[in-house]
Structure 1
Amino acid sequence: MISENNAMKKMIVSNFHNRYSGILSLSDISLFLVDRNGEILHEFISSPDFCTNLCKESSQSVCSDYRKQIKNRHYNNFFCKYGLNNIILPIEVDNEIMGFIGGMQVYLKENEYKKYMVNAQSFTKENDVKLEFIAKAIGSLKTVESNKIVVHEQLCHHIAKNIALDLKDTINEKKPHVSTLSIEKEMLEKKIIDLEVKNMSLVVNPHFVFNTLNSIARIAYFEKSHTIEELIYCLSDLLRYNLNQGDQLHTVAAEIDNIEKYLHIQKVRFRSRLDYVIDVPDQVQSMRIPNMIIQPIVDNAINHGITGNRDGGIVKIYAESMKNTLIIFVADNGNGFPQEVYNKIHRGDCPSGYGFSSTDKRLKQYYGNAYGLKIVKSDFSGSTVSITIPKKHPGGV
């Protein structure tokens, strides 16, 4: 039987770069292959200079913290003595450990302070290197978000499992169709990782957004750009409102307040080319409606009704309280909907950019087919869209 080191070295020479180049592009955090003795056989993604040149006894082996984890059979995430987050995963074939996948070597945000507690002076005597190099090596250690850690963990698990499958085939000299299944499995797992990474890339930390906006607003304040400051705070409120509310029911008053902030921003943009009027009776202000059902229609009135007019126009939002229903109207004095768009909307085939389909579906799913959006007017003098909802939602509130 081929030894595990020889088998892994043979795999490294033959196909490591080709096989994993695609998924390795998903991360820039260190990842390496280690044998059972702690010797580094291959670096997929290079380790930071601090770990390579200062912590390890040899550039070809892992540091003492990794050796301790391997000796004690503590496989998974761990923190080294300098506070860096690391990972060590076994590569197992028939319940026998053949080697390890290691890496990470980064700070989580909550542990970043430990970087500044590393004693640079202590390395000058041990490693006989200049203090300047040590300081740069410490300073270049990465701090990453927790979601990036999760993606890298998946990457490490994926590679560890696939190396184990390939080793099993190599050592036991299994039939070719087993290797084919292994490659198919690898391709499926790669797709899963790709999807998860894409999903995570869409998630923006709201605290980061708000802190950034507030910082820009403060700069505008000190530079006496008060209009910019006001707009930034309006935008911050809009984002916070939408993120906090989700699909919850909330009051008409809250929705109208949100719309006013949006219209204020648009008013600054269009200046005298845009006017707006909001007339919603006090008695319906406390009614609860789904989040963001008015704003897409108002946005449509501005972008498709007002923007194209040389002299601009006016947007009106008003409401009528019937016996069992509330009807909210959004009207503009533009040129109406183009005939082809009007026809598509009535066929339920509204083109993107008009804000109808998703809002109408939300209302119908929540209240029933009798409710939703309707174009009650569309001609050369403008358009009017109605939003009809019951005064009591399905839960009876």
Structure 2
Amino acid sequence: MTRYRLKDVIDKAKLEEILKKFSEATGLAAIIADKSGVNITEPSKFTNHCNLVRSTEKGRKYCYNSDAKLGRLSLKKGGPATSLCHCEIVDLAAPLVVEGHCLGYILCGQVFLKPPDEEKIERAKKRAIDFGLDPNLYVKTFLEIETVPKKHIYTTGEMLHIISNYIIELGVNSLYQKRLLEETKRRSEYENAIKTLELKALQSQVNPHFLFNTLNTAARLAYFENAEKTAEIIYSLANLLRYSLKNLDQLVPLKEEISCIGYYLYIQQFRYKDHIRAEIEFPKKLEKYLIPVLSLQPLVENAIVHGLEKKKEGGQVKVVGYEKDSCVFIDIIDDGVGIQEEVLNNINNINKQKIALEGHTTGLGIHNVDLRIKKYFGENYGLKIESKVGIGTKVTLKIPRMVNRGIQL
């Protein structure tokens, strides 16, 4: 593997969102640092004391050195490690490892395992003078630091370590995918799309051991907190990930696709709350017909990300299935911001324009969904997109009534 730097593969916004939620749930400060201890993400829920220390050049330098030292200890252990920083505060670190290479560390903590005694407070006063800070203010913020059980920071740190490594693995895969697309750009459009999807399927395989570790850790936390909603999110995520591991070169009953988008919409509605509403109208008699796996979820995701997410007051996405002229039609309708006419013309003219709107979860764009449907069923099938700026978008998917491969009703 090419030696990437952490900032080359990290999805900074996504990790900062995770750090924020982690800090809200646990009360622990958190940050991502490179191998030298320098921050890559913005600090999450840092204590007043640590912010005060890092406001000085000398204190900041000592913090970086402490973080790097603890990070190296965690790398040596092969997992989370705890230690006292230069200010005698408990921190925890876990290495961020991709294909055997450490790119940096995730750190959390800024807590005490027991309240500081008089000797520790006296040493704190001396540090304040060394940093050029007011000793009274320094000690005040020092005593504000929370005291927690060691098991608490270790368990939560382990969970965040697993999730962060997974996100970085996805970041590396996205770089591989980008290079692959550049290399195959001049090849046949159909061939290029199919080969890209096959390689992406291989790249995006989730190690079941990793998946079970992550879900088990999350489940333990949910059980500990009596968090029923959290458990439901975990189950939906597990089902969605399990479905995404299916071979892309297969047809599945529409019933499975509808279940997949049901899991996806549950997660998104939990995330966006009242900002996004979803509705599925799908007759049971259509559930037996076959469709390429992971065809509907990218379209629903596109409606949310590109249509509703950008709309200040939110809106609705609706999935409707029906029969017409011996074919099955599925409409994905949103009342979002709509698509500019020039962009819409390019998308509907995909036989001449190589445009793919990438989804955030599966990586399967609208263009690739259309290509896969045409590959299995022929040129008379695929996608049609209608949109008006300020009103919304409707994507219509057309497939034959097929219950067995090669047998059309």
TM range (shorter): 0.3 to 0.5
TM-score, normalisation: structure 2: 0.46
TM-score, normalisation: structure 1: 0.47
Between structure 1 and structure 2, the one with the greater Rg is 1
